[in-house]
């Protein structure tokens, strides 16, 4: 890509690199996380405030005065049976409370006072040879803005010295993965009463509503990820391997935004592969060569200070939409626009999903692919044929963030067409969610629908046939639910005209 194009592409990020000013200015006076001078400085007060939010909720439940929250951080994970490790990423609940970068730590919070204790491993002196200077307890205390630091072999003794009797540990089942989060374990824990049930739903509910400081970190990582997507879009040419798009994205978010990690395996599907919802896995590692006329569906998000972006851009590899590509793309864009206009506090997420489905089906009917009443199509489950996933999900420290299904909130719907939703909650101000309607032509789903009399009656087979192998379109934005509606943090070209104009700049290079 020519240097002039690169300069324009980075312009917004460079102009905004000092933003959000409230966070950057505040953290300059205290401990913070950052990668270099141009990346966002995240104040450790963000995590202190998270701890205070947590203890406030616990106090509302009438927790005893001798109670401490005890959390166990992430551990290094060996690569199979070798002596090297996977790149470390902090356990999300521990990150939310403490913002600590190192593995093998613990944290405790006094529920009465809110005072925090960070426990770090006591490493042998020889570790300095391999890992550099070993930091003192006072240095860890200053770095992470906690009230006290001790070593992990002292956990039981320290808690006894503070007259702790009841420990709240974290155990619960993630409603997205179905995996169980186990509570903290340390030497001497059997000397305390342990409650492993109370904490999980409370801390999950805290994570559902983002604090002002969290919102600014999410804004930053969405800004970085948006610019990375634009870089990929502008550099794309037919004949490019899909993995180049993944490499371009990862390079940008790290080199320009300080994002060492992406939030999930990059999905870089082209042509038929754009209909594979989680393409890019080990069996299909973004390795097809992109052809002239292919639609690209690139779903990628950077990760900064543990916080995730999740953005999908769909566009033609050659920069020009065909009529069929316009039909499908505009159907999805209209669905996105309808949800953005309607979403606000008090609105049920299930209703937003069905709204998006109806808009897509209506557009396909207007385009001649379907006939009949759209409401009847929904009753027959035709919406799940063209969009077999939910409209979106909560987003935060995990790309599929916790809180989708918690006690006291709607359970997962069972009806076809809505049973894949990652949450059925009523929207609240402060939620951060993805809005990601899609339309896909997936052979196995189309074949099953054509064989089902209740669904096949809606198809115009001769029109549908030309979309075999088309792939799919998804448009995914990261949005904050505000008091009056939504604020969209995703800043990429979205209309057909915007995409075509953007992709033609310096197209000759």
pLDDT tens digit sequence for 109-151: 999 999 999 999 999 999 999 999 999 999 999 999 999 999 9
Confidence bin at 159 (pLDDT 50/70/90):
very high
Q: Is the peptide bond before 20 cis (omega within 30 degrees of 0)?
A: yes
**Given the residues 143, 336, 400, 425, the one annotated as active site:** 400
Query: Minimum mean pLDDT among 24-33, 65-74, 300-309, 370-379: which range?
Result: 24-33
Read off φ and ψ for residue 195, nearest 5 degrees.
Answer: -110, 110
Find the catalytic residue in 81, 83, 138, 462.
Answer: 83
How confident is the model at residue 429, as a pLDDT? 98
Instruction: Check if the beta carbon of residue 144 is closer than 8 Å to that of residue 50.
Output: no
Annotation says 83 is catalytic:
yes
The length of the chain is 509
For the question of residue 223 being annotated catalytic, the response is: no
pLDDT of residue 47: 98
Share of the chain above pLDDT 90, in %: 91
pLDDT range class, residue 508, cuts 50, 70, 90: low
> Where do we find the tokens 């600014």?
216
For residue 19, the model assigns a pLDDT of 35
pLDDT of residue 61: 87
Q: Single out the catalytic residue among 474, 477, 478, 494.
A: 474
Q: Is 447 a catalytic residue?
A: no
Does residue 290 come out as left (phi exceeding 0), alpha (psi in the -120 to 50 range) or beta?
A: beta
Q: Give the active site residue among 102, 337, 440, 494.
A: 440
Distance CA(46)–CA(186), nearest Å, equals 27
Q: What are phi and psi of 105, to 5 degrees?
A: -105, 165
Write down the pLDDT at residue 134.
96
Average pLDDT over residues 97-103: 98
**Whole-prediction pTM value?**
0.93
DSSP track, 272-317: GGGGSTTTTSTTS-S-PBPPTTPEEEEEE-EEETTEE--EEEEEET
CA distance 170 to 146: 20
Q: What ranges in 162-283 are assigned the alpha helix state H?
A: 199-208, 212-235, 242-255
pLDDT bucket at 63, cuts 50 / 70 / 90: confident
> Does the active-site annotation cover 229?
no
Mean of pLDDT over the chain: 93
Query: Is 70 exceeded by the pLDDT of residue 507?
Result: no
pLDDT band at 242 (very low <50, low <70, confident <90, very high): very high
pLDDT score at 62: 84
Residue 205 designated active-site: no
Residue 5 has pLDDT above 50, yes or no: no
**498 catalytic, yes or no?**
no
Q: Which of 205, 227, 401, 436 is catalytic?
A: 436
- Active-site residue, selected from the candidate residues 219, 389, 422, 494: 389
**253-274: pLDDT as tens digits:** 999 999 999 999 999 999 999 9
What is residue 488's three-state secondary structure?
strand
Q: What is the mean pLDDT of residues 82-90?
A: 95
> Which residues on neighbouring strands pair with residue 314, listed in sequence order?
297
278 an active-site residue? yes
Q: What percentage of residues in the chain have a pLDDT greater than 70?
A: 94
Question: Looking at residue 443, what is its pLDDT?
Answer: 97
Q: Is 440 an annotated catalytic residue?
A: yes
472 backbone dihedrals φ, ψ, rounded to 5°: -165, 170
Write down the pLDDT at residue 485. Answer: 98
237 secondary structure, DSSP code: -
How are beta strands 193-195 and 166-168 bridged, if at all?
Answer: parallel
What number is the average pLDDT over the span 402-415?
A: 95
Q: Confirm if 247 and 235 have CB atoms less than 8 A apart.
A: no
State residue 343's pLDDT score.
98
Per-residue pLDDT at 37: 79
Q: Which of 246, 401, 476, 478 is catalytic?
A: 476
pLDDT digit string, tens, across residues 437-489: 999 999 999 999 999 999 999 999 999 999 999 999 999 999 999 999 999 99
Q: Identify the weakest region by mean pLDDT among 19-23, 146-150, 183-187, 497-501.
A: 19-23
Strands across the sheet containing 486-488: 432-435, 477-481, 486-488
pLDDT band at 76 (very low <50, low <70, confident <90, very high): very high
Among 173, 251, 278, 468, the active-site one is: 278
Q: Which residue has the tokens 């194009």?
A: 5
Structure tokens at 277: 């919802």
Distance, CA of 225 to CA of 300 (rounded, Å): 8
Alpha carbon dihedral 221, 225, 228, 233, in 10-degree steps, equals -160
Among this protein's residues, is 436 annotated catalytic? yes
Q: 28 falls in which pLDDT band (50, 70, 90)?
A: very low
Closest CA to 205 of 357, 425, 47, 5: 425
Is residue 221 over pLDDT 80?
yes
Would you state the torsion angle of the CA atoms of residues 401, 205, 86, 72, taken in this order, to the nearest 10 degrees?
-170
Of the residues 110, 227, 246, 310, only one is catalytic, namely 310
Catalytic pick from 246, 294, 299, 477? 299
């Amino acid at each position: 890509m020519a240097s002039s194009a690169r300069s324009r592409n980075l312009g917004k990020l460079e102009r905004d690199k000092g933003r959000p000013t409230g966070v950057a200015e505040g953290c300059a006076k205290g401990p913070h996380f950052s990668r270099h001078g141009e990346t966002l400085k995240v104040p450790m007060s963000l995590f202190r405030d998270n701890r205070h939010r947590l203890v406030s909720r616990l106090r509302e439940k009438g927790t005893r005065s001798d109670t401490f929250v005890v959390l166990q951080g992430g551990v290094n994970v060996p690569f199979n049976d070798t002596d090297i490790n996977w790149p470390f990423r902090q356990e999300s609940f521990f990150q939310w409370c403490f913002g600590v970068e190192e593995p093998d730590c613990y944290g405790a919070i006094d529920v009465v006072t809110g005072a925090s204790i960070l426990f770090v491993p006591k490493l042998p002196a020889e570790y300095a040879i391999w890992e550099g200077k070993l930091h003192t307890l006072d240095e860890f205390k200053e770095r992470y803005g906690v009230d006290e630091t001790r070593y992990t072999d002292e956990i039981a003794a320290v808690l006894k010295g503070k007259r702790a009797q009841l420990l709240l540990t974290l155990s619960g089942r993630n409603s997205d993965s179905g995996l169980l989060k186990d509570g903290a374990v340390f030497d001497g824990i059997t000397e305390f009463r342990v409650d492993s049930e109370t904490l999980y739903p409370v801390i999950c509910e805290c994570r559902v509503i983002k604090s002002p400081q969290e919102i600014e970190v999410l804004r930053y990582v969405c800004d970085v990820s948006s610019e990375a997507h634009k870089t990929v879009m502008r550099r794309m040419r037919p004949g490019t391997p899909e993995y180049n798009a993944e490499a371009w994205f990862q390079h940008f978010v790290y080199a320009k935004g300080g994002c060492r990690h992406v939030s999930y395996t990059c999905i870089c599907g082209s042509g038929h592969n754009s209909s594979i919802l989680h393409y890019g896995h080990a069996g299909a590692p973004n390795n097809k060569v992109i052809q002239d006329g292919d639609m690209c569906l690139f779903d990628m998000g950077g990760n900064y200070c543990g916080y995730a972006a999740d953005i999908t851009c769909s566009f033609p590899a050659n920069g020009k939409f065909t009529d069929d590509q316009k039909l499908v793309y505009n159907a999805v864009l209209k669905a996105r626009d309808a949800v953005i206009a309607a979403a606000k506090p008090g609105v049920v997420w299930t209703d937003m999903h069905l709204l998006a489905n109806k808009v897509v089906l209506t557009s396909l009917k207007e385009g001649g692919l379907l006939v009949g009443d759209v409401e009847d199509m929904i009753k027959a489950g035709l919406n799940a044929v063209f969009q077999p996933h939910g409209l979106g999900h909560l987003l935060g420290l995990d790309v599929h963030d916790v809180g989708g299904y918690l006690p006291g909130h709607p359970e997962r719907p069972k009806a076809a067409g809505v049973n894949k939703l990652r949450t059925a909650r009523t929207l609240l101000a402060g939620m951060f969610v993805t809005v990601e309607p899609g339309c896909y032509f997936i052979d196995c789903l189309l074949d099953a629908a054509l064989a089902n009399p209740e669904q096949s009656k809606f198809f115009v087979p001769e029109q549908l046939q030309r979309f075999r192998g088309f792939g799919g379109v998804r448009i995914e934005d990261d949005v904050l639910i505000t008091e009056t509606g939504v604020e969209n943090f995703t800043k990429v070209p979205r209309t057909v005209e915007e995409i075509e104009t953007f992709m033609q700049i310096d197209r000759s290079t």
